[in-house]
């Protein structure tokens, strides 16, 4: 077993983080940045735009651009988390469907059927949360924002935008809170 820059290199030649080193830092940083960007833009910056910027149409235009930007963050952050999880723990003795996101489990995998089921359930939850986040983030700039800017049924589409943003925030929050388990 060779250790290089806080990574253990085992028989398979795959590098895994040792302790709570780089893997924890990178995964938690990405999930915290993702949650923080959604929180800051949606709950601080955009409401303040409508307080301080006149006319309100200009505030709405800027808010639309900010929501487009944060939607792209909501696409890239889950994908980056996915790739980090794959890079830090690419295989499991129980197959890709039960892959554990926790580098601390390494390649030993589950010791029993119950452990394998728990890993599989955690992985399915994570995949659904990451996939749902990406789908919602694609929905926002592709469908919701154009309907709002065109003025078609503005109240309905503002409601859809609020619901979409709230769901994105809830998924990012859940994954950030779960990231202590995944990345430690």
Short-list 58, 70, 80, 77, CA closest to 144: 70
Bridge partners of 7, per DSSP, are 4, 17
3-state SS class at 37:
helix
Considering all CA atoms of the chain, what is the largest pairwise distance in Å, rounded to the nearest integer?
64
How many of the other CB atoms lie within 10 Å of CB of 181?
Answer: 12
Q: Which is it for the CA torsion 99, 100, 102, 103, positive or negative?
A: negative
pLDDT of residue 39: 96
pLDDT of residue 163: 94
Can you tell me which residue has the tokens 């859809």?
Answer: 160
Global pTM value:
0.69
The ranges assigned to domains in the chain are: 2-183
pLDDT of residue 124: 72
pLDDT in tens for each of the 184 residues of the chain? Answer: 433 333 344 444 444 444 444 555 677 888 889 999 999 999 999 999 999 999 998 998 899 899 989 988 988 988 888 887 777 665 544 444 433 444 444 444 445 556 556 656 666 777 788 888 889 989 988 999 889 888 878 889 999 999 999 999 998 888 888 776 655 5
Long-range contact set of residues 170-173: C-beta below 8 Å, sequence gap at least 24: 171/129, 171/132, 171/133, 171/136, 172/31, 172/34, 172/35, 172/38, 172/74, 172/77, 172/133, 173/35
């Amino acid at each position: 077993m060779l250790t290089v820059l806080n990574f253990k290199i085992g028989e398979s030649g795959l590098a895994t983080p040792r302790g709570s080193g780089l893997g924890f830092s990178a995964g938690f940083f990405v999930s915290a940045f993702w949650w923080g960007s959604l929180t800051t833009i949606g709950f601080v910056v955009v409401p303040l735009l409508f307080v301080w910027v006149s006319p309100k149409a200009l505030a709405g235009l800027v808010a639309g651009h900010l929501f487009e930007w944060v939607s792209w963050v909501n696409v890239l952050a889950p994908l980056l988390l996915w790739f980090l999880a794959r890079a830090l723990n690419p295989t499991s003795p129980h197959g890709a469907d039960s892959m554990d996101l926790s580098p601390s489990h390494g390649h030993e995998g589950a010791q029993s059927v119950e452990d394998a089921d728990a890993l599989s359930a955690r992985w399915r939850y994570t995949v659904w949360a990451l996939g749902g986040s990406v789908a919602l983030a694609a929905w926002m700039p592709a469908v919701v924002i154009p309907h709002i800017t065109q003025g078609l049924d503005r109240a309905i589409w503002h409601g859809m935008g609020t619901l979409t943003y709230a769901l994105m925030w809830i998924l990012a929050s859940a994954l950030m809170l779960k990231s202590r388990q995944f990345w430690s």
